[in-house]
A and B are shown apart, each in its own frame.
Chain A
């Protein structure tokens, strides 16, 4: 479904060049919930932004459903993007539009009639459990509710792919759990292929069937989530898993926390 071939991305900066991606090849299949994990600055965001060409790779190609879209410009590019939903860490909701207006936004871009757009938006708001918040403004909603609105907005054009850029990093544990559940439902019930950027292994465990570990712009390893997290083959993956384990260990056995518990 999504085939990233030998992607490289080099930024030219004042302080020289920076290789954000180096020769990354990755295959994401239809129906996957695919996790891109790695440390901050590893190139996760750049990699995922290459899928809808918000970032243009310096070399390599992006193939979606067998079509090389890397060279798309203008209208072709806009049509392609309208079929790939995206949600963001900071939600990126339009503050001056109400909830319904946010969800109709992608439909307005395509010239869908106002009545049809509103009807579709109301359906989507029901799907994410916010039917009663249509007239609210984003500033009146909690973080979890805002991300639900963003999910409804991302689904407006019936995308086959949903990109999630650290979508739960600004949310608390319970809200994260609920949002991940929603993403899972969207994957299972609507058949949407989901790509999840996260630095959190617990997020990857909860929602992903496959993961790729990115390290300093390179693909360290990729595979089924249980394989990679249980028996990491690469140094980068091993470090992530170990760090995750150490954090868990401290929470359980730290004398400070133990004392507090008593």
Chain B
């Protein structure tokens, strides 16, 4: 117990800061990624063959862009995007700077996730909505997004957890966070206690995110009761 107390005394503030940084980076980049990813996912579904507004060219172009985005390894994206990051947030170091490549990496991922969730919605429901005179916007919001809410929430937890892993990589370019702490203290200074503490915190955060999302998905899903 004494050793834990002394560890907390020495590294408590550091670990707390790392946890906050990791969670903030993950949450903000998830939010930005959805802000762009949802419209892209909707666009992919609407323009798909047999969609509400089939458009072969637009669908193919958006699909290619999304695939290109997903092909670039994240660690390379960070470096590649440094000029863009500087232009957007004024620096290429720190939490704010990490959010730019994190969001960029997640947008195509989210677009595919949203596309997947929306395409699971029964086509009969879209047809029914059309038969009552629903506009495209009404169909998107009241049918596609509303009916796939549980699936979207499950996708959200996958995105969050994937980005949480990416944040550790962003840590290597001075973004901070638990991954950064684990590398600097645990690996480079052979401080196993710090390494283990960082890993334990990561596990707790991921479990917590998954449990919350699963509970929320269950609560919103009225199909199985």
**Which residues of A come within 8 Å of B, CB atoms?**
52, 54, 77-82, 84, 86, 88, 90, 92, 94-98, 105-106, 108-110, 137-140, 153, 156-157, 163
A81-B130, A105-B142, A109-B134 are known contacts. Are A96 and B220 too (CB-CB below 8 A)?
A: yes
Cβ-defined contact, B224 with A139, below 8 A: yes
B222: which of A106, A110, A137, A157 is its contact (CB, 8 Å)? A137
- Residues of chain A within 8 A of B135, CB atoms compared: 78, 109
Contact of B223 among A82, A92, A139, A156 (CB under 8 A): A139
Interface string of B136-148 (1 = CB under 8 A from A): 0010001100110
Provide a sorted-by-A list of 25 A–B residue pairs whose CB atoms are within 8 angstroms: A77-B133, A78-B134, A80-B133, A81-B131, A82-B133, A88-B124, A90-B122, A94-B143, A96-B149, A96-B150, A96-B221, A96-B222, A96-B223, A98-B222, A105-B129, A106-B132, A108-B142, A109-B129, A109-B132, A109-B138, A109-B142, A137-B222, A137-B223, A139-B225, A153-B132
Q: Are A94 and B132 CB-contacts (below 8 A) given A108-B142, A140-B225?
A: no
Assess the A81–B224 pair: CB atoms within 8 A.
Answer: no
For residue A242, give the distance in angstroms from its CB to the closest CB of chain B. Answer: 33
Residue B193 is within 8 A (CB to CB) of chain A in the complex = no
Query: In the bound complex, how far is the Cα of B211 from the Cα of A113, in angstroms?
Result: 37
Q: Report B147 CB to chain A, min CB distance, Å.
A: 5
In the complex, A78→B147 CA distance in Å?
Answer: 22
15 extra A-B contacts, CB within 8 A, seeds A86-B132, A96-B147, A137-B225: A54-B127, A78-B133, A81-B131, A84-B131, A86-B131, A92-B127, A97-B222, A98-B222, A105-B142, A106-B132, A109-B129, A109-B134, A109-B138, A110-B133, A156-B132
Which residues of A lie under 8 Å from residue B131 when comparing CB positions? 52, 54, 81, 84, 86, 163
Q: Is the C-beta of B216 less than 8 angstroms from some C-beta in chain A? A: no
Interface size, B (range): 20 to 34
Residues of chain A lying within 8 A (CB to CB) of residue B138: 109
Residues 23-78 (chain B) with a chain A CB within 8 angstroms: none
B20 sits at the interface (CB 8 A):
no
B contact patch SS: helix
What residues on A are CB-neighbors of B222 within 8 Å?
A: 95-98, 137-139
Question: In the complex, what residues of A have CB within 8 A of residue B130's CB?
Answer: 54, 81
Sorted nearest first, the 9 A-B pairs with minimum C-beta distance are A82-B133, A78-B133, A81-B133, A92-B128, A106-B132, A137-B222, A86-B131, A92-B124, A95-B223
Nearest B residue to A140 via CB reads B225
Verify B133–A79 contact, CB threshold 8 A: yes
**Which residues on A sit within 8 Å (CB–CB) of B129?**
105, 109
Contact B125 A94 (CB under 8 A): yes
The CA-CA distance from A214 to B199 in the complex, in Å, is 69
